[in-house]
Amino acid sequence: MTDREQDAQELADRTMRGLPPGPTNRVTAINADDADDADDAAAGGKPVEKCILMVEKGELPEVAEKLRDIIAASSDFFDRGVPVSIIKKAGKKLPIASPLTSHGVVRAAHKLCRPSKDGANATLPDRVAALYLDMAGEWNLPALVAISTAPILLADGTIRSVEGYDRETGIYCCNVPKLELPDKPTEDQAEASLLLLRQAFRTFPFSDAERKKDKALGLDVVDHSKPMGHDESGFLNGLMTGVCRQSLYLAPGLLLNAPSISGAGTGKGLLGKAIGVIAYGNCPRAFTPGTDRHEMDKRIVSEIIEGNPMVFIDNINGQLLRSDTLASFLTERRSGVRPLGRSQMIELDIASFFVLTGNGLSLSEDLARRFIYGELDAQMEDPEQRFFKTGFLKNIEQRRCKLLGAALTIWRWGRQHTALRHGKALGNFEEWGEWVRDPLLALGCKDPVDRLGEIKARDPERQLVIELFAVWWKVHGSNPVKASELGSEVEQIADPSKHCRQYVARVIGNLAGTRLGGFALERLGNLPNSRKEGAQYRLLQISSPRDEAEASASSALSAGLEKTDVNSIRKDSGDAADDADDLGQFCTGQTEMVCAQCGAGPSTGGDVPNVRVKNGDGEALVHMQCHRFWGEDHPQ
């Protein structure tokens, strides 16, 4: 008698005597998908040991806990905010993380064990599956950060090729190509690698690139003998970021833009797909933003839950893009999201690379600093009518190992030469700067951070504020004025729909402390009757004077480029006059200012004094912490 027959006989005997089934784990399943199919055994299927999962009425929560332990021990499932399994779709080279449904839990249970009820084989009840899915935080599954076909990179220049789940990083790796890289790349090798990458994309019309005619191709191509422009540099930074993204804690996204209407067909989508092919060996799935912000956020969350290494949003045309969800994903490694159809929030580790493309696309100020920028302009009315040979992406796919190796050669050279000159600081992305931007900067690329001012200046709200300040300065200068006393020209900009004076007061109150376009708006607070009489505001000019034409609305874009420091415009609701304590006092940031109480200032290593107090017939500035001492020593 076989082990299986013996177990079945013992189970039948105990059932006949009214006894519970005895402990046993000697049940043999054939082919794991159908334990009872003897034909599969005859076909040569491998026997798989399965344990029996007793389903007892009235003990379903305990059954769910036992099932949890069985699933956790299988190493086939992961925690991605919800239990997920790694599956590969037909025709796709990159697998995805598929969330378990109730039916998925039932299938997993029958694959890993044999549910039994009243001494006979049984189907796992849906209620047990639902109880299992409800065990948020108790699944005991390893956390899945991302799925990638790129190798794992370490800070010292080491490259690890892993197949399967890597517990140290939480990344599931598959199909990682074998790469031949120099152990200690020289600068010449790094320069040659950069040239190889540039050659692969020389036919794309980067907006500010110097171009020349290539007789062999019959096309204009980027002239590599000339200094590299910002747009090509932005793309190369994006490509390198895609390669390194899963090994970086945080990294900016990439925005590929083109002119409105005539920007269609310039190749933005091809560039985004090429990054996916080189970095992840897979052409990314592009999706559109949908009809509104909420729809776009839902689509982004769905992509993130699947663990896709690259999120590719295409055709965001002619709009100002705002998304709190996207902004959070770019600057928070661990973020809370709400999956579609659920009211429960889940936490996810996010290591996806975000690529956006569009024509006439602008980013709101909170998103602008989170993206590398590159612009394409074919300088013609119908760019799609240009002739190119077919098979560009196929060629990139065939050359993936060489192109990926070139990118990693540049990266390794940078990691082994950490004394390279650093570019401009970019908050939250310091590690990215050292890994990606600084090596490219040393090889002749432009600093993508230089373009942030241009991206921000395209925000219509920003342009409106610059126009408001310019007209305010023309009408009132630096004279203190209440919101209710603003000139009609200023009021027209602040409230073009003519709501009411309270609306104007709220708009101006929300702008208190804003520095933009060479001006700064301060609120003269701590007035005894400010709530009844209304607070006063004063506009200060904090940069060199500009003529009237530069300060007009038509020059708002260029004015934004001169900005050196920006505070986000507050969007608080309620009466601005009631928010004086929250808004605080404005500080001009001039380094020569010292505290009238303690004498310290920026030049002595102290903070900038930012509270305005009376001093005889004039005014003085003191530190917040010195304010109470000033009141004691200098009674007003």
Residue type, 96: I
Q: At 110, which helix (H) or strand (E)?
A: helix 102-112
Q: Please check whether residue 442 lies inside any domain of the structure.
A: yes
Residues 573 and 629 reside in one and the same domain:
no
Q: Are 100 and 21 in contact, with CB atoms under 8 Å apart?
A: no
Q: Are 617 and 629 in contact, with CB atoms under 8 Å apart?
A: no
Which tokens belong to 358? 């569009």
- Residues across the chain: 636
Tell me the C-alpha distance between 449 and 446, whole Å: 9
Tell me the C-alpha distance between 596 and 306, whole Å: 58
Domain boundary among 385, 418, 449: 449
Residues 327 and 356 reside in one and the same domain:
yes
Residues 195 and 237 reside in one and the same domain:
yes
pLDDT, residue 593, reads 59
Which tokens belong to 315? 């055709």
Residues 380 and 484 reside in one and the same domain:
no
Q: Please check whether residue 168 lies inside any domain of the structure.
A: no
Domain boundary among 429, 449, 469: 449
Q: Are 402 and 180 in contact, with CB atoms under 8 Å apart?
A: no
Give me the helices (H) in 351-487, please. Answer: 365-368, 392-398, 400-416, 430-432, 438-442, 452-457, 460-476
Backbone angles phi, psi at 502, to 5 degrees: -65, -35
Domain boundary among 449, 481, 516: 449
**Angle of CA points 389, 393, 397, to nearest 5°:** 130
pLDDT, residue 24, reads 41
- Is 275 buried (19+), middle (13-18) or exposed (0-12) by CB count in 10 A? buried
pLDDT, residue 61, reads 93
Q: Please check whether residue 149 lies inside any domain of the structure.
A: no
Residues 75 and 124 reside in one and the same domain:
yes
Strand 113-117 relative to strand 120-121: parallel, antiparallel, unpaired? antiparallel
Tokens 């794991």 belong to which residue? 32
Residues 529 and 620 reside in one and the same domain:
no
Residues 266 and 405 reside in one and the same domain:
yes
Task: Check residue 590 and report its DSSP letter.
Answer: -
Residues 477 and 414 reside in one and the same domain:
no
Q: Please check whether residue 109 lies inside any domain of the structure.
A: yes
- Helices 102-112 and 126-133, axial angle in degrees (round to 10): 100
pLDDT, residue 352, reads 94
Domain count, the chain: 4
In a 3-state reduction of DSSP, which class is residue 357? strand
Q: Please check whether residue 163 lies inside any domain of the structure.
A: no
Number of Cβ atoms within 10 Å of the Cβ of 520: 23
Residues 610 and 561 reside in one and the same domain:
no
Q: Please check whether residue 178 lies inside any domain of the structure.
A: no
Give per-10-residue mean pLDDT for the chain (636 aa).
51 47 39 39 54 90 95 93 88 85 94 92 94 92 91 93 90 90 96 97 95 89 94 97 95 94 91 96 90 87 89 90 91 84 80 94 86 93 87 95 96 93 92 96 94 78 87 92 91 88 88 89 68 78 52 34 32 34 31 60 54 66 61 44
385: left (phi over 0), alpha (psi -120 to 50) or beta: alpha
Domain carrying residue 25: 3-133
Q: Distance between the two ends of the chain, CA-based, in angstroms?
A: 104
pLDDT, residue 538, reads 92
The predicted-structure confidence for 435-473, as pLDDT tens digits, reads as follows 999 999 999 999 999 988 777 777 778 888 988 999 999
Strand 362-363 relative to strand 320-321: parallel, antiparallel, unpaired? parallel
CATH code assigned at 263 = 3.40.50.300
Q: Please check whether residue 140 lies inside any domain of the structure.
A: no
pLDDT, residue 37, reads 43
Residues 312 and 376 reside in one and the same domain:
yes
Residues 299 and 344 reside in one and the same domain:
yes
**Angle of CA points 612, 615, 621, to nearest 5°:** 30
Number of Cβ atoms within 10 Å of the Cβ of 561: 13
Q: Please check whether residue 454 lies inside any domain of the structure.
A: no
Residues 409 and 274 reside in one and the same domain:
yes
